Structure 1
């Protein structure tokens, strides 16, 4: 077996390992929403992969009693809902998760009192409990949503594959940066517009269009002819901008799941976008580095590796498109 073929098969295996539910949030999500005096709704969304579903459970003060949780499984996520009846206000008390030291992924905490701003925090094995505050810490909001943006681009596999395909199509670092900037600008526009209620699209067609955008890039890579450059090669920033508008609605859908802190919406949106951009730069850097290494040490393997990766991307994104259209 030649080195080029082994490399191609390794890339195919890595891509096939991506889960079918491409855009699910991989961190856990714990929400406390106040319904009335001393009454709270507790929602716990735990991905099956990562240990949260089997090794952790919500934690709250001893002066709160919990109703029997109503649990269901949605895709790869366990969702449990219950009610808390608390004899005192939660302000100043601690909430979070027990068993985080045995899990392999983090969780986002959202606390929504009736007459106070929403509080957001990131729960980790080193910080599994958070004190409920009367005024959320703006720096905590910034940190939480920045990390959330990074996680979403790195573990939202359809967005990740779009960026990989964009790099494979363009190749030149300078042009890749321009296209990535156009993509970021576009998804920022629709993300802000959608979360603020100015524009909107139903999530199902958005997810299908995101998959279709990856298929389009894969086709453009495969049929590339150096003598007759296509539109995506001649003006990649235009294509990246147009598809970025669609991907922005996908990012907005992720933010709708976790909500935005009422007192720090601009901070949360800005840092989430910065996190997405940071994640994109990591992906771009890794793909460009792999291309540079192949070009230097195994130039004959570069084209087979690119084509094999592209076919895998195209097949997976076609499956996502069909799955999302079907329903």
Structure 2
């Protein structure tokens, strides 16, 4: 089993990388207020083919017109543009024009006193009113939390690994339900703790190292699932809740990095943090429910041992690839 994982990881590592120029998929628009007497700055970074990225236009607030043309840095993987603005205070409507479908741009406003403001812009909602009171904060950050967990494949694969581990270990439906509830709750407590500490600025670790450790946590579950079940049960199989809590601490730092990119409204910081965390939990519960339903249907035709092996490959191969690529960024 370990040899199969190694071969799969090696094949992925040696596979040719896709072409660098690809359709736009992500963007970041950062606005920084200047010191007293100085103008604000704006920076727009878009990944993807340069010709498509250069087509996106920024419509600044009327009182913050740019002081001339932007400086432009074009790379094969995207475009970076910077402006000096004729205002010190960032207020009024800002919009992105000619946004391609499917592109999301994170707007981050860094104010002079340290306050942060954030929003997501896309083709359906391309504008934001800078300085407006934070209306609908709870709903906005709740949706952001749900979206982050459901579109975060590494976090989902870890949860799937937990579900499979408990499914394979527990012998009765009652024991299975009890152990799964304990494991998911422990994972929730773990990542809620570090998410809160990191979001409040009380804990900070290099995100590249955190992402590599998250991939390692998934790979560890895959090895457990694919290992021999005839020997004495390992500590992970005996105490899945403790393992889930420990690895949850890592995943919470990953959630915090996504939240940092958007920012927390200063006047509703705790409300936004609570809503984001609740959104993550709702998305996680929805995924666990879907996974249990699928396993219940598959278990009628596929033996539990075979399901565990298939699950080990399903989560282990991408985890090995992520680990290799993320370790490469540390060098």
> Which range, TM-score by smaller chain?
0.7 to 0.9
- Tell me if the contact between 1:119 and 1:136 (Cα under 8 Å) persists in the aligned partners: no
Q: How many angstroms does 1:280 deviate by?
A: 1.3
- Tell me if the contact between 1:96 and 1:130 (Cα under 8 Å) persists in the aligned partners: yes
- Tell me if the contact between 2:31 and 2:109 (Cα under 8 Å) persists in the aligned partners: yes
Q: How many angstroms does 1:305 deviate by?
A: 4.8
Cα deviation code 1:104-141 (max 9, x no counterpart): 243332333335943323324332212223x53152x3
Does 2:93 correspond to 1:94? yes
Q: How many angstroms does 1:185 deviate by?
A: 1.0
Q: For residue 3 of structure 1, what is the aligned residue in structure 2?
A: none
Cα distance change of structure 1 residues 68 and 229 upon mapping to structure 2, 3 Å threshold: same
- Tell me if the contact between 1:31 and 1:109 (Cα under 8 Å) persists in the aligned partners: yes
TM-align CA RMSD: 3.2
Q: Residue 205 of structure 2 aligns to a residue in which SS? A: coil
Between the aligned partners of 1:245 and 1:52, the Cα distance in structure 2 is: 39
Between the aligned partners of 2:203 and 2:263, the Cα distance in structure 1 is: 17
Unaligned runs of 5+ in 1: 1-15, 20-25
Q: How many angstroms does 1:199 deviate by?
A: 2.8
Paired residues, what number? 295
Between the aligned partners of 1:173 and 1:44, the Cα distance in structure 2 is: 48
Does 2:80 correspond to 1:80? yes
- Tell me if the contact between 2:39 and 2:87 (Cα under 8 Å) persists in the aligned partners: no
Q: Residue 156 of structure 2 aligns to a residue in which SS? A: helix
Between the aligned partners of 2:47 and 2:286, the Cα distance in structure 1 is: 24
- List aligned pairs for 1:28-177, cutoff 5 A: 28-36=27-35, 37=37, 39-48=39-48, 53=53, 56-62=56-62, 64-65=65-66, 67-71=69-73, 78=78, 80-86=80-86, 90-91=90-91, 93-100=92-99, 102-114=100-112, 117-133=115-131, 135-139=132-136, 141-171=137-167, 172-177=176-181
Between the aligned partners of 1:320 and 1:159, the Cα distance in structure 2 is: 12
Q: For residue 325 of structure 2, what is the aligned residue in structure 1?
A: 323
Q: Residue 109 of structure 2 aligns to a residue in which SS? A: strand
Q: For residue 220 of structure 1, what is the aligned residue in structure 2?
A: 224
Q: How many angstroms does 1:239 deviate by?
A: 0.6
Cα distance change of structure 1 residues 160 and 58 upon mapping to structure 2, 3 Å threshold: farther
1:245 to 245, 249, 260: 249
- Tell me if the contact between 1:56 and 1:103 (Cα under 8 Å) persists in the aligned partners: no
Q: How many angstroms does 1:158 deviate by?
A: 1.6
Q: How many angstroms does 1:57 deviate by?
A: 3.5
Cα distance change of structure 1 residues 127 and 204 upon mapping to structure 2, 3 Å threshold: closer
Unaligned runs of 5+ in 2: 1-14, 19-24, 168-175
Cα distance change of structure 1 residues 83 and 218 upon mapping to structure 2, 3 Å threshold: same
Q: Residue 131 of structure 1 aligns to a residue in which SS? A: strand
Q: For residue 280 of structure 2, what is the aligned residue in structure 1?
A: 276
- Tell me if the contact between 2:59 and 2:95 (Cα under 8 Å) persists in the aligned partners: yes
Cα distance change of structure 1 residues 59 and 303 upon mapping to structure 2, 3 Å threshold: farther
Cα distance change of structure 1 residues 214 and 88 upon mapping to structure 2, 3 Å threshold: closer
Cα deviation code 1:244-293 (max 9, x no counterpart): 01111222233333333222221222122112112212221221121112
- Tell me if the contact between 2:164 and 2:311 (Cα under 8 Å) persists in the aligned partners: no
Cα deviation code 1:142-192 (max 9, x no counterpart): 333222222322223221211111111112344323211211111111122
